Amino acid sequence: MNNTAPFVIFASEFIGTTLLLLLGIGVSANATLKKSFGVGRDWLLISFGWGFAVFVGASVAWRSGAQLNPAVTLGLAVTGGLSWSKVPLIVAAQIAGAIFGALLAYLAYKKQFDTHDEPANTGGIFFTSASVSAPLWNIISEVIGTFVLVYWVLESSPFQPGTADSSVQFGNSALGYAGVAFTVIAIGASLGGPTGYAVNPARDFGPRLAYSFLPIKGKGSSNWGYAWIPIVGPLIGALLAVGFFELTT
């Protein structure tokens, strides 16, 4: 990515994050909206949907390093794997993509939103919240989930092709972007209950902002009083993952 043009980096992160949020919010809408075929609030379906949304988004965002998450971007920058000068551009692309992905998901389910009989409760389709409100513990939940994600990313070693003198060496990333998808599914299924596992500031902030201006009749609040938790928690989790990674390598 060192010699990649800024526009290409921005476009790559923007498109990847757009697809991530389109599919992630899409599965939440499918499982929640009453006139959708997937209605039933199946947490496992949602966990798998978000995991494979990461797979799709990351697969098309390879030109920028497929970060799609300011917490991952921070972790890579702190470890020296990414130039700090690229961080603002990448984070801006992630937030813009998250907003646009949320808009596209809304358009895909426009008529289901229009006919949903509990419009005041549709915010949870777009952004996260606490199942039990306790700010300190909500932050800790986000810290732990993000630690798992970022530490996995940092520990992933590159695929090493075989040579005449050695066989192929498979590191964690031999699974490709599927490995990240499996990690996100595991986080969602195991750690998503307390806060909905944002583990990504852009994933929460962008759709929360989009929800505030989407024309959903009778919609509820964007709950901005909670919005700082899925930003601060993941960033702390990323820094702790970096610290632990540096101590053990």
Residue ranges of domains in the chain:
6-244
The answer regarding whether domain 6-244 maps to CATH 1.20.1080.10 reads yes
Q: Residue 4's pLDDT is what?
A: 84
Alpha helices in 79-176 (DSSP H): 87-108, 110-115, 123-126, 135-155
pLDDT of residue 172: 53
pLDDT band at 173 (very low <50, low <70, confident <90, very high): low
Q: For residue 163, with 0-12 CB atoms within 10 Å meaning exposed, 13-18 middle and 19 or more buried, which class applies?
A: exposed
* Section 85-91 average pLDDT: 97
Is this model's pTM higher than 0.85 or not?
A: yes
Q: If pLDDT is split at 50, 70 and 90, which confidence band does 156 have? A: confident
User: What is the 8-class DSSP label of residue 121?
Assistant: G
Instruction: Please state, in angstroms and rounded to a whole number, the distance separating the CA atoms of residues 71 and 58.
Output: 15
Q: How far apart are CA 50 and CA 36, in angstroms?
A: 18
**CA neighbours within 13 Å on the CB side: how many for 187?**
29
**Percentage of the chain modeled with pLDDT above 90:** 85
